[in-house]
Amino acid sequence: MMRALLFSIALLSLGGCVSSTAKIAPMGKYPTLPAIQQQTSTQRLLQGLPGAERPVPVAVYNFTDQTGQFRASETGQTLSRAVSQGGTSILMKALQDAGRRNWFTVLERENLSNLLNERQIIREMRERYLGETKVNPEALPSLLFAGVILSGGVVGYDTSTMTGGAGAGFLGSSARTEYRQDTGTVALRAVSVRTGEVLAQVSTTKSIASYSVGGGAFRYVGFKQLLEAETGMTTNEPDQVALQQAIEKAVYALIMEGVEQQLWTFSDAKRGSELLASYRDEREGKITAEQVREATKKAEQQQRKQKAASKAVAKPNANATPAARPKIADVQQVPVRGAPIVAVAEVTPSTDRNPATGKSEPSARPGN
């Protein structure tokens, strides 16, 4: 019996190792407090980009699920979609994260009808209560227009692209582990409003992993004493987070493609050329995405160290001897309610030698 208990404990610790990156609540306890979503690695990659020389006004009408797949279950297909339908909101957030709002000026177009209706209500109210026959441009300026339209969507969602597992049993005790991987594909393109030309188009993929670990025991531990135990745990990578990372990577790739085609440029040309070289190596398969992330992280750490060193040099030393103070400047009386300014002569302390005593005594002389 002791051996079976030790076996169950080993299974639980194995499950903890498999899901080291996910925070799982203990059995019987469920997290109820909301939490702010943590930043992903691709989101930090976007925020670390140098800003554009001039922000690009872009419009996003929709970024939809083009796979048409429904979520599968053990009992069959359900009416729920396999992919999140909030791709447009995720894309707009990724565009704002690029260079910390220094790359794109994102314009609302998904709910354009609501925006136009609200502006029409403002016109009617001002016409009724203020008697305006024409729109006041100061109260209701015209909408901004975009030079580039971003469109695309989720173009693929392949289930069970990789499956595997292992299991073993001995004398009524068994253990098993299973693995499954799905793959999602995102396409993003930039279209010129003036000519309708597709300026750049990129495609990214993201794998969605699922792990399952379990085990059990079924054996006699004594006369008419049967031990039956079973334990297990499953970890599924959230589909929404995977879609967010794929879209953020697509925005990053679109920026690099535009820089390569000289559609837009970085404000920091040196840093931009380094990032473009890394992107080309990743696109051609010379390096992996993990290596790009590590190189970017090291570059950001180096920049932070340089900024800290420059601040330390600029900060004055508290232990340094203060410089000699200048003489008291001319003091002027502050005018009150238009009173004239009265100048006060500078008083410079000086020393004169007393001929009677031969000692130096202070005296006051009017300044120059």
Domain parsing of the chain, residue ranges:
39-109+146-307
Q: Is 302 helix (H, G, I), strand (E, B) or coil?
A: helix
Which of the residue ranges 39-48, 78-87, 220-229 has the most confident prediction, judged by mean pLDDT? Answer: 39-48
pLDDT tens, residue by residue, 275-306: 999 899 888 887 776 776 676 667 667 667 76
CB 254 within 8 A of CB 188: yes
DSSP symbols for 82-103: SS-S-HHHHHHHHHHHTTTTTS
CATH class of 39-109+146-307: alpha beta
**Residues found in the chain:** 368
pTM: 0.69
pLDDT tens, residue by residue, 64-113: 888 877 777 766 666 777 788 888 999 999 999 999 999 999 999 999 99
What is the predicted pLDDT for the residue at 30? 61
Report the mean per-residue pLDDT for the chain.
78
Question: How much of the chain, in percent, has pLDDT values that exceed 70?
Answer: 71
Which ranges of 32-170 would DSSP assign to H, the alpha helix?
A: 41-47, 87-97, 112-129
What is the predicted pLDDT for the residue at 288? 73
Q: How far is the C-alpha of 87 from the C-alpha of 152, rounded, in Å?
A: 10
